[in-house]
């Protein structure tokens, strides 16, 4: 039954997003493992030939650049690191293209920063470009634009696990496969000889996060914790996720065939439209609304829209149409949504009944602060 479930979930997906990390793509010397790129390319082409739309989120630019430049250590200063990534990205995409072309496919390079998916219009432009490439039979290869992404400017995704989760959210019926240097989520520290892979996880909660063991190497920015966060993010929107070993022979084709490899995260039963995925899990919140217990209960139940009377505090500066985070009395995020009012207006009308809005603002364009059609429940 487990194998049948896996096969059904993956083959029921229209688009398979595959994320591969630096540890999977690099050899012991920290440089790009060409044989591994060839193996991955062959498997991706096989999935595409089998009728799937395939998108690859690939790390490895720095590892590739280190090899091209003959560097033995990862640079520590930002400018040099970005320069190495620029050299490596060109080599990385050339390597993928060289293998895809022998298999009758072509690669397309798409470099993103967080703002590209945060802004709704640019988000849709990225989505439309990806859909057009897939219709042409091309395999898009996505990476964070390391040459311009700077932590201090808050433009990075943090790691490609989060980027892959956001990319999966662009599509109507996706599945996400994260290829790691470990073969799944273990029930205890993988270094323990008694450790076993959990083949199925039906809900990502704190007990699952407690199983994460992060390892710091000088190559990857990720770790199991970030993969679990990505899985939580994606499964909540009704999308299946698998974390599996990237160096397991023919891992992708075997997964699609239903073989019990890695850890399957079951999707939530509630599906979610791409717009609501964007609101809830992709766009960055411009401000925060703290609500009272009654409003929090109503939101959690999937009930009515958020009204001004339920808001007790407004934080941040924002304008109409931006995404806001909604938190309960304990500060726990329960939803995100598009606001119908600016922060200046909400400061005036918070805690007030809808009938008082016109008197306080001089007009009443909306009764709802966040309409339920523009709200995504979190958790």
Instruction: Kindly give the pairing relationship between strand 241-245 and strand 174-180.
Output: parallel
Residue 16 has pLDDT above 60, yes or no: yes
User: E strands, 145-232, where?
Assistant: 174-180, 200-201
Write out the residue limits of the CATH 3.40.1160.10 domain(s) in the chain: 2-272
pLDDT value at position 316?
96
Write out the residue limits of the CATH 2.30.130.10 domain(s) in the chain: 285-377
Residue 220 has pLDDT above 50, yes or no: no
Long-range contacts of 291-299 (CB under 8 A, 24+ apart): 291/326, 291/327, 291/328, 291/329, 291/334, 292/329, 293/328, 293/329, 296/328, 296/329, 296/334, 299/326, 299/334, 299/335, 299/375, 299/377
Choose the weakest-confidence range: 18-27, 58-67, 210-219, 240-249: 210-219
Cα–chain center distance at 357: 38
Residues 17-53: pLDDT tens digits? 999 988 899 888 888 899 999 999 999 999 999 999 9
The mean per-residue pLDDT over the stretch 187-209 comes to 87
Residues 279-308: pLDDT tens digits? 988 888 999 999 999 999 999 988 789 999
C-alpha separations of 46 from 53, 232, 244, 354 in Å: 11, 28, 18, 57
List the 311-315 sheet strands across, edge first. 311-315, 287-291, 323-327, 333-338, 375-377
Which two three-digit tokens encode residue 318? 């924002």
pLDDT band of residue 75 (cuts 50, 70, 90) is: confident
pLDDT value at position 29?
84
pLDDT value at position 268?
84
pLDDT value at position 153?
30
pLDDT band of residue 333 (cuts 50, 70, 90) is: very high
The mean per-residue pLDDT over the stretch 97-101 comes to 96
Which CATH code is given to the segment(s) 285-377? 2.30.130.10
Choose the weakest-confidence range: 37-51, 202-216, 306-320: 202-216
Residue 177 has pLDDT above 60, yes or no: yes
Give the containing element (helix H, strand E) for 289: strand 287-291
The mean per-residue pLDDT over the stretch 171-182 comes to 92
- pTM, rounded to two decimals: 0.83
In this prediction, what percent of the chain has a pLDDT beyond 90?
56
Which two three-digit tokens encode residue 26? 């690099």
**CATH architecture for segment(s) 2-272:** 3-Layer(aba) Sandwich (3.40)
Residue 3 has pLDDT above 70, yes or no: no
Question: Average per-residue pLDDT in the chain?
Answer: 88
The mean per-residue pLDDT over the stretch 92-102 comes to 95
Residues 350-368: pLDDT tens digits? 999 988 999 999 988 899 9
Give the residue, 189 or 155, on which the prediction is more confident. 189
Residue 221 has pLDDT above 50, yes or no: no
């Amino acid at each position: 039954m487990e194998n049948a479930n896996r096969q059904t979930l993956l083959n029921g997906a229209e688009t398979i997003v595959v994320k591969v990390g630096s540890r999977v793509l690099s050899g012991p010397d920290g440089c790009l493992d060409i044989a591994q790129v060839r193996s991955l390319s062959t498997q991706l082409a096989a999935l595409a030939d089998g009728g799937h739309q395939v998108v690859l989120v690939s790390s490895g630019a720095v590892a590739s650049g280190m090899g091209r430049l003959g560097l033995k250590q990862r640079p520590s200063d930002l400018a040099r690191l970005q320069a190495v990534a620029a050299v490596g990205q060109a080599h990385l995409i050339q390597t993928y293209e060289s293998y895809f072309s022998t298999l009758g496919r072509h690669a397309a390079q798409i470099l993103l920063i967080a703002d590209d998916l945060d802004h709704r219009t640019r988000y849709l432009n990225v989505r439309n470009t990806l859909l057009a490439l897939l219709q042409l039979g091309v395999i898009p290869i996505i990476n964070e634009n390391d040459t311009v992404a700077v932590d201090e400017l808050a433009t990075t995704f943090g790691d490609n696990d989060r980027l892959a989760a956001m990319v999966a959210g662009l599509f109507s019926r996706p599945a996400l496969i994260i290829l790691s240097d470990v073969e799944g989520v273990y029930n205890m520290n993988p270094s323990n000889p008694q450790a076993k892979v959990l083949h199925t996880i039906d809900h990502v909660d704190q007990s699952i996060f407690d199983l994460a063991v992060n390892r710091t190497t000088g190559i990857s920015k990720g770790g199991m914790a970030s993969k679990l966060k990505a899985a939580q993010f994606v499964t909540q929107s009704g999308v299946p996720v698998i974390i599996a070993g990237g160096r397991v022979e023919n891992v992708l084709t075997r997964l699609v065939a239903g073989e019990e490899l890695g850890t399957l995260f079951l999707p939530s039963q509630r599906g979610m439209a791409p717009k609501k995925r964007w609101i809830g899990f992709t766009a960055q919140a411009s401000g925060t609304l703290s609500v009272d217990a009654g409003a929090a209960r109503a939101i959690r139940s999937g009930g009515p829209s958020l009204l001004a009377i339920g808001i007790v505090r407004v934080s941040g500066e924002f304008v109409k149409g931006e995404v806001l985070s909604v938190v309960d009395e304990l500060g726990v995020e329960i939803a995100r949504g598009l606001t119908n009012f600016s922060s200046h207006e909400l400061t005036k009308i918070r805690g007030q009944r809808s009938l008082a809005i016109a008197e306080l603002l001089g007009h009443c364009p909306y009764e709802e602060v966040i309409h339920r059609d523009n709200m995504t429940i979190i958790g």
